[in-house]
C-alpha cells in the first residue's frame, strides 16, 4: 500500500487541492488500484510556494492538472525507486 498525501493547507487549498484530490481519486479508480493506493489530505507540508504540494515516499512534489497524470504513472504506479 502506498500513501499519497495531498496538502490541504491554505496556500495549496487556494491553488486547487480539492481538484487535485478528485483527480487522484479518479486516476485510482481508472487504473483499478483502490487496494494499493491510499489518498490522504495533509496539513501544510512546508512547501507552500510549490502548491499543490503532494508527498509520496517522503518526497514532495508540486502537482497541477497538467502533470498529475504523469506523476501518477511514474511515481505512484511506478513505485519506489
Q: Which residues contact 29 (CB under 8 A, 6 or more apart)?
A: none
**How far is it, in rounded angstroms, from Cα 68 to Cα 16?**
12
Shortest distance (Å) from residue 65 CB to ligand FES: 16
Q: Tell me whether residue 43 or residue 57 sits nearer to ligand FES (CB atom).
A: 43
Between 1 and 49, CB nearer to ligand FES: 49
Q: Of 9 and 56, which CB lies nearer to ligand FES in the complex structure?
A: 9
Q: Is 10 left (phi over 0), alpha (psi -120 to 50) or beta?
A: alpha
Contact residues: ligand FES, CB under 6 A: 7, 9-12, 44-48, 51, 53
Amino acid at each position: 500500500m502506498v500513501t499519497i498525501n495531498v496538502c490541504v493547507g491554505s496556500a495549496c487549498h487556494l491553488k486547487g487541492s480539492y481538484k487535485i484530490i478528485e483527480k487522484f481519486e479518479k486516476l485510482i479508480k481508472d487504473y483499478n488500484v483502490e487496494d494499493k493506493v491510499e489518498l490522504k489530505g495533509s496539513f501544510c507540508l512546508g512547501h507552500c510556494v510549490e502548491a499543490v504540494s503532494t508527498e509520496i515516499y517522503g518526497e514532495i512534489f508540486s502537482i497541477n492538472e497538467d502533470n498529475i497524470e504523469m506523476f501518477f504513472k511514474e511515481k505512484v504506479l511506478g513505485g519506489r525507486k
